[in-house]
Amino acid sequence: MTDKNEIVIALLGQPNSGKSTLFNALTGLRQHVGNWPGKTVEKKEGSFVYNDRKYLAADLPGTYSLSANSDEEIITRDYIASGKADVVCILADSSQLERSLYMLSDFAGIDVPCFLVLNMDDVAREQGKEIRVSDIEDRLGIPVVLFSATDRKGYDKFYAALEKAVENKPLLNSDALEAKYGQIPEYVSIRSIIGDISDNSKSSMWLAAKAVEGDAPVVSRIRTLLSDDKAAEFDEAVKNIDKGIVKTGECKFAWIDELISGSVNKSKKTVELGKFDRLITHRIWGKAVVVITILLGLLASFIPALPFMGLGSAVGMLPDPLNEMMINAGCPAFIAAIVCDVLIRCLGFVIQMLGFVFGVTFVFGLLEEIGVMARISYVFDNTMAKFGLQGKSVMPFLISFGCTMGGAAGTRVIDNWGQKVLTIALSWAIPCGAAWAVVPMLSTLFFGAWTPVIIAVILIVMILHMWLTAKIFGGSLVKPENRCGMIMELPPYHKPKWGALMRYVFGRTKDTFIRSLKVVLIVAFVFWLLSYTSSGDASNTVLFKVGQAIEPVTMIFGMKWQTFTAFVASSLGKEGALGVLSTIFSGTGTLSVGMMAGGEQAANLNELLLANITKPEALAFIFAITFNMPCIVALAATYQETHSVKWTSIIGLYYTFTALVLSGIAYHIGLLIW
């Protein structure tokens, strides 16, 4: 989507520097989300026009530094150094200036035009901080803007600095930093070995500093640029460095201190935990407060979700009358069925689910924005570390009791890709609202007073399932050597910025809508083909024929063809399982895709079920649908968050397989009992 006259601006900043807020404010809904080539890292670009000039903004992954510890960091620094961006906008948080300027100090030495944005000026001023920008500007030699990305009125300053940077192509003056590095003997010797080599816009100073830090890609890159004897000398010098990153880190912060000395007035106030912080981080009550906060958030999510759900079910009403109209108008029944049964029903289903995603994204985006999410992470860090996860994972888990798709959407706040995928994989094991609607009804019907026992067993199996799944996938998703304990800032509470938040929420919902509709349509169409019959008799369908042919196999898992068909249908949506059984057993009506959103049920369904399904089979069926793939929309949401076809398929197949295994175990235990 690059066009030649477009000016490319790259946004670089640590997490919590307000980078996304700035990106959203600049580009609004003109955003495009994709993947970085060959990586599972999300690539966000958006365009905007200012003063008749077209800009393309690239929102680089939020990283703490430009080292080579993660894909995100390598993508970020290679992109910047590649010269693909005409100008780099570096963000720092004014309220935590010293610490957040680390990104600038790590950037220093990459010679591309840039300017510095000191964001969250409003928070800094509330803290009694005063920053004199002109001093910093003089020392750095680049435009510096002090503003707040959430304040619409402050953007003139931002645009002015942007235009200045585009016109003058200013480079960051890093002489003072190099002088600091000069006090590290290892730096001096490496610098003299490599001389004045540079790599694209990575200057010899930047390369030498990274070599001191033991940065593997940089070290091997430098080696290829040197002559053989120099390379040997270089290897020797690099080998003997101990704790290089700590040494350069000291220099970077000494440089930052010098940079802002005399230009920042601070009030000497000791910062302590606030009242809510003391409660939520309480040793005993903390966890309860967090769980209550999330559950209240979940309830609140339903409020913005309701209009969507209404709209979705209204759309879901359309197929029947429309089908009639189309057929009366002479449209072939086959086409009418595709339009009504597949297209429109899917649309209605996705819109209904979307309401929940909208609500969850809104409420939990809000919690993230005001800073509550970081506290949640703190409270559950030790517990979740046992699964190889971070504290924030507790939130998607709780949401998944309501809706797995919402849970998947909630993993957005997890900043480590492997942990994000593992969280989604585990949250699939949590029975969602649809399972809770079907399971108690079925178990009451078959097992009466034993229902509480069955529910308790389901919960125990859920925990074992999560534990086992974490064991199976944890090793490759979150490599033990990459498992680092919590190092996270607890940002000061921010007032929510409604405009920015709403733009973000609408953008996400739109993305989810498009992506999940695609997946749902494909899967639904396949299911529809398998279950299509012109005569209205279920025994004419491909599904029936296949189901009956493989019944000897499915009986190992305790499922006859009828329950197996319902099981397959429950991967689309668990609400549909009963509708499918009802259709098959009563022999009326056709199986349809619409059933996944809860089809009509025969009035005598209970008797039909009792007459056709034995107790062990019922038990098997309950476990099969409870632990099956939650629904296709959850599958789509998983793809959207993980950006990985591979992992989405692995998780999908894994759950289908484990559901069958659990069903088989339940069946054989059932056979022993009854």
Residues that bind another protein (CB under 8 A): 14, 64-65, 67, 69, 95-99, 102, 106, 213-214, 243, 245-246, 249-250, 253, 266, 270-273, 281, 283, 374, 377-379, 381-382, 385, 481-482, 484-492
Contact 444/606 with Cβ under 8 angstroms?
A: no
Residues 391 and 405: their CA atoms lie apart, in Å, by 20
The region that residue 508 occupies, defined by phi over 0 for left and psi between -120 and 50 for alpha, beta otherwise, is: alpha
Nearer residue to another protein within complex by CB, 170 or 249: 249
Quick one: which of 308, 313, 311, 312 has its CA closest to 360?
Answer: 308
Closest CB 10 distance from another protein, rounded Å? 19
Amino acid (1-letter code) at residue 248? T
Main-chain dihedrals φ then ψ at residue 34, nearest 5 degrees: -145, -160
> Residue 88 or 379: which CB sits closer to another protein?
379
Q: Which residues of 546-563 are buried (b: 16+ CB within 10 A; e: fewer)?
A: ebbeeeeebbebbbbbbb
CB neighbour list of residue 321: distance below 8 Å, 6 or more residues apart: none
Helix (H, G, I), strand (E, B) or coil at 2: coil
Please say which residue, 183 or 588, places its beta carbon nearer to another protein.
183
Closest separation in Å from C-beta 245 to another protein: 5
Q: How far is the CB of 64 from another protein (least distance, A)?
A: 4
CB of 260 to another protein, least distance (A): 11
Amino acid at 636: A
DSSP letters for 159-185: HHHHHHHHHH------HHHHHHHTT-H
Residues in the chain: 674
> By C-beta, is 53 or 495 nearer to another protein?
495
Ramachandran angles phi, psi of 315, nearest 5°: -60, -35
Please state the closest distance from residue 117 (CB atom) to another protein, in A. Answer: 18
The residue written with tokens 């409870």 in the block is 626
* Cβ-based nearer residue to another protein, 92 or 618: 92
643: left (phi over 0), alpha (psi -120 to 50) or beta: left
Supply the minimum distance, in Å, between the C-beta of residue 479 and another protein: 11
DSSP labels for 6-20?
A: PEEEEEE--TTSSHH
Burial class (CB in 10 A: 0-12, 13-18, 19+), 436: middle
| Least gap, CB of 70 to another protein (angstroms) | 9
Q: Compute the least distance from the CB of residue 173 to another protein, in Å.
A: 22
* Partner residues linked to 31 by β-bridges: 46
CB of 567 to another protein, least distance (A): 42
> Closest CB to another protein among 132 and 545?
132
| DSSP conformational letter for 492 | P
Taking the C-alpha atoms of residue 530 and residue 526, their distance in angstroms, rounded to an integer, is: 6
CB 670 within 8 A of CB 619: yes
Cβ at position 279, least distance to another protein in Å: 13
Residues 207, 209, 213, 217: what is their CA dihedral angle, to the nearest 10 degrees?
A: 0
Extract the tokens encoding 46.
Answer: 């958006």
The whole-angstrom separation of Cα 411 and Cα 431 is 17
The closest alpha carbon to 293, from 274, 283, 306, 280, belongs to: 280
Q: Shortest Cβ distance from residue 253 to another protein (Å)?
A: 5
Q: Residue 322 or residue 385: which is nearer to another protein going by CB? A: 385
Nearer CB in complex with another protein: 383/476: 383
Instruction: Give how far Cα 158 sits from Cα of 139, 147, 164, 171, 363, Å.
Output: 19, 8, 10, 18, 30
Min dist. Cβ of residue 385 to another protein (A):
8
Which of 123/620 has CB closer to another protein?
123
Q: Which is nearer to another protein, 91 or 315 (CB)?
A: 91
In angstroms, what is the minimal distance from the CB of 641 to another protein?
24
Cβ proximity to another protein, 69 vs 539, nearer residue: 69
Nearer to another protein among residue 59 and residue 215 (C-beta):
215
Minimum CB distance to another protein, residue 633 (Å): 35
Choice between 214 and 440, CB closer to another protein: 214
Tokens of 483: 């498992």
The b/e string for 147-175 (b: 16+ C-beta within 10 A; e otherwise) is bbbbeeebbebbeebbbbbbeeebbbebe
Question: Residue 180 or 574: which CB sits closer to another protein?
Answer: 180
Half-sphere exposure of 497 (CA within 13 A, CB side): 21
